[in-house]
Amino acid sequence: MDFNYSAEQEAYRAQVRMWLEANQPPPLTPAERERLNEDVLWERNKRWHKKLYAAGWVGLNWPREYGGRGATFIEQVIFQQELGRLGLPMGINVLGIIMTGPALMQWGTEAQKKRYLQPIIAADEIWCEGMSEPSAGSDLAAMQTRADLQGDYFAVNGQKVWTTHAHRSDFCQLFVRTDPDVPKHKGLSCLLVDMHSPGVTVRPLKQISGDAEFNEIFFEDVKVPKENLLGPLNAGWQVLVATLMHERFGISETIGGTEVILAQLAELAKIVPLNGAATAAEDDDIRQQIAQFAIEAAAKKYNGLRALTKRLKGQQPGAESSIGKLVSTELSQRMTKFSMRLLGAYATLEGRSLFAPEGDWMRRILSSESLTIAGGSSAVQKNMIGERILQLPKG
């Protein structure tokens, strides 16, 4: 594996960096900071998304015919790295872009690709992912939501849960049971569902951080046209596995933020007093802990390059995405929580705190658990690594 980027790629990186630095969103206004919540962040991210899209930075490596820029995959990755370096968000409609879009390109009919892909990257239509149910989370194949083919439409009945941004969504990539009489992995299908259809009810779920980013969705006799089937009938499990691999790859790619958190902790250690010393950085244990985080972040980066090499060879993401997802999310969580050792009681303050004027550590600590569960919990990722990469027997 060659760890160096070509001169052409470095020139491209410089171009991306210059644009991002000149156009990045302004800092939060005092009013926004005062009422910092999910709505405020969504509106900011939406403005940012439109700016990125207008400049051609969204869906970089998607084909031009579907609204993308037709850039190479490595150019997409470099862009992602530069976003991460500045701690900037991708914009909105992230699930549509990292999951539904790639699934449509892999499984969609030409008509479906033409209809849905461009509005996804423009964020003119927001998408959510309807997989988990109250009794089917880690074991997704146990899902019960039914879709019965009745002439030229499916009648959908059932419930989904933890559906991120369902309350903002226009469409749902919905996984349903279309044949209850075969082994559970074999009777699933994937539907593209208009969230404004009669019979769809969305109820927000409030999180520990106070936000309500995800929801329950109830489907009561929702009519979904037959042509909205994505992939073959009863082949939904294959579509689901491919969609999840894109999500895991996307999560580990979009958490370029580990380097940002690492730099913030190192800066924080230089300004907060600890145990009678003028700064926490004078404490051996603190220095060693931050160095340990730096080592793990570097290991994560090089493992990510292994997954990247596979993508560059034109292969779809595989079980190695589980390593990236597991390590990125667990490391981010441990680093975020470490801020409590540096800040002590100040870490519990919401919003701005004395030592973290740009911080908001409490909110980040509370939400740092979420990505270790979303997209398959850490325990489930370890099972996949054990079985598919280490070839260990099933537990």
How far is it, in rounded angstroms, from Cα 115 to Cα 136? Answer: 31
Whose Cβ is closer to ligand FAD: residue 312's or residue 374's? 374
Whose Cβ is closer to ligand FAD: residue 244's or residue 281's? 244
How far is it, in rounded angstroms, from Cα 262 to Cα 240? Answer: 34
Q: Is the dihedral of CA 318, 323, 328, 333 positive or negative?
A: positive
Residue 226 Cβ, how far from ligand FAD at the closest point, in Å?
Answer: 23
Phi, psi of 110 (to 5 degrees): -60, -40
**CA distances from residue 305 to 259, 324, 333, 388 in whole angstroms, order as listed:** 15, 10, 22, 19
331 neighbors 301 (Cβ within 8 angstroms): no
How far is it, in rounded angstroms, from Cα 310 to Cα 74? Answer: 12
**Residue ranges binding ligand FAD (CB under 6 A):** 128-132, 137-138, 162-164, 214, 370, 373-374, 376-377, 379-380, 383
Whose Cβ is closer to ligand FAD: residue 77's or residue 99's? 99
Residue 189 Cβ, how far from ligand FAD at the closest point, in Å?
Answer: 15
Amino acid at 210: G
Positions annotated as catalytic residues are 247
How far is it, in rounded angstroms, from Cα 349 to Cα 346? Answer: 6
Residue 34 Cβ, how far from ligand FAD at the closest point, in Å?
Answer: 25
Whose Cβ is closer to ligand FAD: residue 190's or residue 286's? 190
Residue 386 Cβ, how far from ligand FAD at the closest point, in Å?
Answer: 10
* Residue closest to ligand FAD when measured from CB atoms: 137
Q: Are strands 127-130 and 171-177 parallel, antiparallel or unpaired?
A: parallel
Q: Are strands 188-194 and 229-230 parallel, antiparallel or unpaired?
A: antiparallel
Whose Cβ is closer to ligand FAD: residue 200's or residue 356's? 200
Closest by CA position to 129, among listed 186, 195, 180, 187: 195
Q: What is the largest CA-CA distance in the chain?
A: 76
Residue 53 Cβ, how far from ligand FAD at the closest point, in Å?
Answer: 22
Residue 127 Cβ, how far from ligand FAD at the closest point, in Å?
Answer: 10
DSSP 308-370: HHHHHTTPPP-THHHHHHHHHHHHHHHHHHHHHHHHGGGGGS-S-BTTBTT--HHHHHHHTTH
Whose Cβ is closer to ligand FAD: residue 205's or residue 340's? 205
Q: Between vectors from CA 18 to CA 264 and to CA 47, what angle results, nearest 5°?
A: 75
Phi, psi of 144 (to 5 degrees): -110, -20
Whose Cβ is closer to ligand FAD: residue 163's or residue 328's? 163
- Write down the residue that tokens 């019965």 correspond to: 148
Residue 166 Cβ, how far from ligand FAD at the closest point, in Å?
Answer: 8
